[in-house]
Structure 1
């Protein structure tokens, strides 16, 4: 991981500019400075939630978790899930949950990705947090934000919640925020960033298929692997089916499955494609907002030109640096793809939002993949 402690922080001021909000916190904030309250969320009957009144002011108003809400202990009917590969968000750790009304279930679509059709009143819950020490990921956790995606009247909507400094609850914030975050990485180095919580309108820039808001990481190909629910590993699709929230008439063996790009025991090509799929393909696909680029990076793509091999950019401008091709086989350092992944320059960095730091391990993976390509094969 790159040492980003050198990123400077301006004195934090509270102010409103209509489209953004700065959250005032001490510049040298330590996790130990945060007062973890003993407040517990009041009991809420999830089955009687008024979906027409959403979004609620506080995360606790939904009743998805019991006890101290920051501990994320799900209520009955709230199920944990985990995609095979995770979207990079400035090294934030994440936890994810899904809830559906009793008797409701998603259905498996007949497409190559294993897309799911979710019923109305489905709620997806995604938490972003940082342990004080990444070598002790379950200790001294600081919750940063929780994003809800709620389907009602046939349409998905996104609602961002920002956690208070006392770590007792999260409050709905339409306009996002910028929050100083500090942690110690696996190598013992101190890291410091200004974490950006996107505003509500920015959510659709990634969660977008044919101009409709959709979830990203809850297709069968992301879920078709084992996860430990407390009684040993079980395939998530099977768990969903047994829990009554998924209808499918296929075996997991007959359904698409994506690898974990961090698993170095897996095939390099599959790891690279998994990384590009979860980090880039929500835009770079035929149905996505970057479709006009002609660069399609979903896991199933096999056309070298659509993947970027010897492909000149449609309109990258200075975002291409001094390079000619999205992917130059055998020459990762001369490829536009790795250049854009490896910079934080506005207008050149990819993804355009969702990070303020470079994912060093991700860049290295894609470089290794490109360098392993032989020009003569294309």
Structure 2
């Protein structure tokens, strides 16, 4: 689907009568012409919206052009209809509801402070010391933000946060999250950073809203950014060469494309993200336990070690799979989960078993014109659409597609290495063998039973990776100048016997039946016999 090459004869392309920029949304929801009587001012207007931003517009002719007016908001709505009984306009949403468009009460629009200092969030803009009652925090894994260095704070009013391990937390109305961005002017040198943006996300009774403040060049004050968002260009030194980097301040509607109800509105404020130690009031504390102790959480947590946590992409003590799952959960889950804004075939939530996520050999909505492509093709990064999305390669648009213009090279390397190292069969075996498939001991390169044989090979030869006494053993039989190797075999494996005289240079043993493959047949072993003219070393290469 969605081949970028037009079919033969497809030449009569008609320009749209109206289009809008990505800052207003990401997915048009076609609508209807209004002919009802409840809202006479909309008579004859084309009512449509955007699934991503949630905006609902009325499009009316204006001479030789068209005029668009936003008349409502409804997150993740996907279809419009008409009530046949009275002509009212109906809108179906991803929340499972069908809503009727009626006239609002004309309430006043919110007025936001024009400067960051006027918000009262910080005691000092020089040090960014927050006011009392605002807590600094740091998640385990940071969402990719174009090399920016981020600082975060949260303020929780009266009430408690509804805790959940695998579910989004439930926040009291008035909870505020603050995120500040510093951008290095010399890539990799934090001391060269300048202040670029400070964002606020505010929980309301119905949902949430976001606003941003743009810092002046002196770094002394920030002013309220335009509702439609802003782009700022910086000259950044990259490997000694100047490069223009565009920093995008998201529009207020773009904020809600990620901070969705399905994701709990607040991203990276969850059990797996906050299960970490940090300095609080001069002491090193586990953040989850601290929030529980001061009764901000509605759940008592006195043993945070029993709570899973996300792993950084560069954490040498975490398994590859754990780092990959953490990366996908942090960077993709706001859209890629049930009820979110993306029309998606896979689920990035961290508690979903890997083989149920829908990414391993999963069909993409857009295969770029190649039926060989899948979301993840084990062992083949080139055909893996998920990686192509992160890299913006093979003609695919970039993901995430909001508020980022720079590729995440560390993330690309992590996902690439993982794809090249996995096979579908290993994933199934891993899931069946280990209690926690994301643990370090379940990694293909790990040796779970300490028998000097890595898990990947134990999988290939069907030995027990948790039993050091389970050994794959070749039986040699010598008759005069003939050698027979009796090799234990497993279904759907290939076997190549190699020979060397010095343990450095290896070649395929010239013997009838070598190399060989075993298909679906159930056999215990295969014997290969060849000449033995002098002393040699032998080894067997096993593949799936």
- Cα contact 1:344–1:356 (8 A) shared by 2: no
| Distance in 2 (alpha carbons) for counterparts of 1:66 and 1:328 | 52
1:361: Cα distance to partner? 0.8
Paired residue for 1:178? 231
Paired residue for 2:407? 358
1:301: Cα distance to partner? 2.1
Paired residue for 1:120? 173
Within a 5 Å distance, the mapping from 1:297-336 to structure 2 comes to 297-304=348-355, 306-313=357-364, 315-316=365-366, 318=368, 324-336=373-385
1:170: Cα distance to partner? 1.6
- Cα contact 2:162–2:169 (8 A) shared by 1: yes
Report the CA distance shift for 1:18/1:372 in structure 2 as closer, same or farther (over 3 A).
closer
- Cα contact 1:321–1:339 (8 A) shared by 2: no
Paired residue for 1:145? 197
Within a 5 Å distance, the mapping from 1:54-93 to structure 2 comes to 54-67=111-124, 69-93=125-149
1:373: Cα distance to partner? 0.7
| Alignment deviations for residues 3-59 of structure 1 (CA, whole Å, 9 cap, x no partner) | xxxxxxxxxxxxxx9997xxxxxxxxxxxxxxxxxxxxxxxxxxxxxxx95522112
Report the CA distance shift for 1:105/1:134 in structure 2 as closer, same or farther (over 3 A).
farther
Within a 5 Å distance, the mapping from 1:75-224 to structure 2 comes to 75-101=131-157, 103-109=158-164, 111-113=165-167, 115-133=168-186, 136-137=189-190, 139-173=191-225, 174-184=227-237, 191-210=243-262, 214-224=265-275
1:261: Cα distance to partner? 2.6
- Cα contact 2:194–2:219 (8 A) shared by 1: yes
1:344: Cα distance to partner? 7.0
| Distance in 2 (alpha carbons) for counterparts of 1:130 and 1:55 | 25
> Is 2:418 aligned against 1:369?
yes
Paired residue for 2:12? none
1:241: Cα distance to partner? 3.2
| Distance in 2 (alpha carbons) for counterparts of 1:355 and 1:18 | 16
| Distance in 2 (alpha carbons) for counterparts of 1:213 and 1:259 | 21
| Alignment deviations for residues 292-331 of structure 1 (CA, whole Å, 9 cap, x no partner) | 4211112222142534111121x3153x778511101011
Paired residue for 1:245? 296
1:159: Cα distance to partner? 1.2
- Cα contact 2:367–2:373 (8 A) shared by 1: no
Bigger strand fraction: 2
Deviates more, 1:196-205 or 1:346-355: 346-355
RMSD: 2.8
Secondary structure of the structure 2 residue equivalent to 1:107: coil
1:130: Cα distance to partner? 1.3
> Is 2:325 aligned against 1:276?
no
1:154: Cα distance to partner? 4.5
| Distance in 1 (alpha carbons) for counterparts of 2:375 and 2:393 | 18
Secondary structure of the structure 1 residue equivalent to 2:273: helix
Report the CA distance shift for 1:335/1:217 in structure 2 as closer, same or farther (over 3 A).
same
Secondary structure of the structure 2 residue equivalent to 1:203: helix
- Cα contact 1:328–1:334 (8 A) shared by 2: yes
- Cα contact 1:107–1:118 (8 A) shared by 2: yes
Paired residue for 2:347? 296
Report the CA distance shift for 1:310/1:140 in structure 2 as closer, same or farther (over 3 A).
closer
| Distance in 1 (alpha carbons) for counterparts of 2:395 and 2:217 | 30
Q: TM-score, normalised by structure 1?
A: 0.76
Report the CA distance shift for 1:262/1:151 in structure 2 as closer, same or farther (over 3 A).
same
Report the CA distance shift for 1:321/1:162 in structure 2 as closer, same or farther (over 3 A).
farther
1:235 to 286, 289, 302: 286
Secondary structure of the structure 1 residue equivalent to 2:328: helix
> How many residue pairs align between the two structures?
321
- Cα contact 1:145–1:160 (8 A) shared by 2: yes
1:246: Cα distance to partner? 2.9
| Distance in 1 (alpha carbons) for counterparts of 2:200 and 2:405 | 22
| Distance in 1 (alpha carbons) for counterparts of 2:372 and 2:256 | 30
| Distance in 1 (alpha carbons) for counterparts of 2:183 and 2:127 | 13
Q: TM-score, normalised by structure 2?
A: 0.54
Paired residue for 1:28? none
